[in-house]
Structure 1
Amino acid sequence: MIWLTWRQFRVQAIVTAAALAALTVYLLLIGFGSRDAYDTGIVGCTPSECAAALQAFVHDYNAPFGIIGAVLLAIPALAGIFWGAPLVARELEEKTDKLVWNQSVTRRRWLAVKLGLIGLTTAAVAGLLSLLLTWSASRYDQVTGERFAALTFVARNVVPIGYALFAFTLGAVTGMIVRRTLPAMAITLAVFAAVQIAVPNGIRQHIMPPVTETVRLDAAAVSSINGLGFRGEGTGGSIHGYTKPGVWPLVEEMHLYKSDGSAYLIADAKPCMVMGSFEESMACTAGQDLHFTFTYQPGDRYWPFQWIELTAFLVLTLLLTGIGFLWIRRRLN
């Protein structure tokens, strides 16, 4: 049974191995290149040079690591569409199930070998590429400090393995239920895309209760915001883009309040708006004893989030596998 599965899967396996080898060489090259650029351009830089060096480093490596991250994001979807969806649906369409499942090998054993062998291959491909990308982009991730970013989080460390196994099993079970390859591929893509959108935008941030703290708008806070604005006369002011190193900010716009807790209005800001320069204006604002609330996920929760999300997708994979075994035994007669 293992030999038969290999015979049917060998073309996909060979193509995947060749693509993985090419990506490995590419990731090794840019990994060593980014390390050399980091050591020569950033390590030991003077304060006057560091800002430009960091900006140049991010500019040079943003596209290469972004492209590979997108490839890794697509691997689970491709596994679900091209490896999972046709697994059973193709047998049903071509009527070969009547021959395959009437041999000495039971249909459950047939499914177990298929899911096990191809599923492990899927997990190995996603895991190896994730490991290589995590190593290669380590200096880039250190500089940007955006490990929690949606596209970064799902393309590093252990989470891609969970996504890959889930997508492959989803495709296989969908093919069993739909009995047609093309509709199963379309449904698998739609469901997996919905999951990839829903998890980073609506679920991941609630895995653990976020931390909310009150921050004083002093000179240090002013230096790390992108801007201060008002929506209109009589409305409270707000700042944008404030964050702290290594954390995951959950709110982009934060309202400003005065020391007595009332909203900071445009009338309160006018004395600082007439200053000669932007720096003087912001220094004046920092001296008005203002504060805001900052909601975020701490940086030390990165690995707990990784393991929790991996576990969740492994559980979903097991549930789908159980549905597949029940369906192939009771419904596919």
Structure 2
Amino acid sequence: MSAVLQGLPRTVLRLHRTALLGWAAAVAALTGWLVWLNEVTAGSVLDSLARCRRTDLCHDAFTGLDYSEPTGWIGTLVSHSFLAVAAFAGGALIGRELESGTARLAWTQGVTPTRWLTAKLALPALAVTAGGTVLVLVYRWGWGAHRSLMGDQWSTGDVFVARGPLTVAYGLCALAVGALAALLLRRTLAALGAAVAATWLVDVLLTEYRADLWPKLIRTSPTPFTLPDGAWQVNRGRNAGGEFAVYHPASHFWPLHLVETGVVLALTTLATTAAFLVLRRRAA
């Protein structure tokens, strides 16, 4: 029995090596793309902009899109990588084995359902954490390297997620929700769709209420005023006292980011606990 238990991680790795290699390739590709943009493309764009200022032939200014657009797409892919994790967890990782009956076969070979699910989740969780951490670190470096060529801000949805541990938290949450969906539905395609939809809904809701996760600042003045550089303006208007603005300064990035990370990790814990409870009932 001990030999079977020791071989569980190896079995999981063998069964899902294609997905793990695909994840590693995606991390490497996005990292290489961002390095190329900052080390090669950015220099060419800056040279074009300098020529534009010297000669007044400013059609070359549009070459700035060669840097800003791909960088924006990388941020989108990093921040939404959790959707791929949810699809994998609900479909291939758990759903397919429950639907085919191989999970129950494993439970008759000296592996308890709890140990089976633990082994199933542990290796992907390690891969999601390691790959997500690499993407976050590289994206933080790339996003801050040439700010003059970018038009986004720290409060932009994709940028907000991709610049910190929230990326990893969403990935782990997607893994747990995918496992729970598969255990509840026991059908590969249904679990895949439900996992993607559920994690997407979590992201939409938290994005909608993100500004409320930390106390906002309010500034009022009888005359027009300008907010500090990098401020996230949540609301602005006029009242009896003059002009007012509700905003988050740039220093609020980490409080907002860490609070949302905590919320997502709490949901991850709940989904993981629920998955083990459902498994215990199914196995009984």
Question: What TM-score do you get using the length of structure 2 for normalisation?
Answer: 0.84
Give the Cα separation in 1 of the matches to 2:91 and 2:147.
35
Asked if the contact 1:215–1:294 (Cα under 8 Å) also holds between the matched residues in 2, the reply is: no
Shift of 1:331: 2.5
Give the Cα separation in 2 of the matches to 1:193 and 1:73.
11
Shift of 1:295: 0.4
Shift of 1:189: 1.6
Q: Does 1:294 align with 2:245?
A: yes
Q: What is the match of residue 80 of structure 1? A: 86
Aligned length: 270
Asked if the contact 1:34–1:139 (Cα under 8 Å) also holds between the matched residues in 2, the reply is: no
Asked if the contact 1:80–1:188 (Cα under 8 Å) also holds between the matched residues in 2, the reply is: yes
Match of residue 13, structure 1, among 7, 16, 20: 20
Give the Cα separation in 2 of the matches to 1:297 and 1:310.
18
- Which sections of structure 1, spanning at least 5 residues, go unmatched? 225-242, 263-290
Q: Does 1:29 align with 2:36?
A: yes
Deviations 1:249-290 (A, max 9, x none): 102x523x5xxx38xxxxxxxxxxxxxxxxxxxxxxxxxxxx
- Aligned residue type for 2:13: W
Give the Cα separation in 2 of the matches to 1:204 and 1:128.
25
SS in 2 for 1:104: coil
Superposition RMSD in Å: 2.8
Q: What is the match of residue 204 of structure 1? A: 210
Shift of 1:83: 3.1
Asked if the contact 1:69–1:152 (Cα under 8 Å) also holds between the matched residues in 2, the reply is: yes
Question: What TM-score do you get using the length of structure 1 for normalisation?
Answer: 0.73
Q: What is the match of residue 124 of structure 1? A: 130
Query: Cα 1:210–1:321, aligned 2, differ >3 Å: closer, same or farther?
Result: same
Give the Cα separation in 2 of the matches to 1:38 and 1:157.
27
Query: Cα 1:216–1:61, aligned 2, differ >3 Å: closer, same or farther?
Result: farther
Alignment of 1:74-223 (within 5 A): 74-141=80-147, 144=151, 146-201=153-208, 203-218=209-224, 221=225
Shift of 1:40: 7.1
Match of residue 269, structure 2, among 313, 318, 324: 318
Match of residue 306, structure 1, among 257, 260, 266: 257
Q: Does 1:250 align with 2:234?
A: yes
Asked if the contact 1:119–1:165 (Cα under 8 Å) also holds between the matched residues in 2, the reply is: yes
Larger of the two Rg values belongs to structure: 1
Shift of 1:72: 1.2
Asked if the contact 1:159–1:307 (Cα under 8 Å) also holds between the matched residues in 2, the reply is: yes
Give the Cα separation in 2 of the matches to 1:293 and 1:300.
20
Shift of 1:58: 5.8
Asked if the contact 2:132–2:168 (Cα under 8 Å) also holds between the matched residues in 1, the reply is: yes
- Which sections of structure 2, spanning at least 5 residues, go unmatched? 1-7
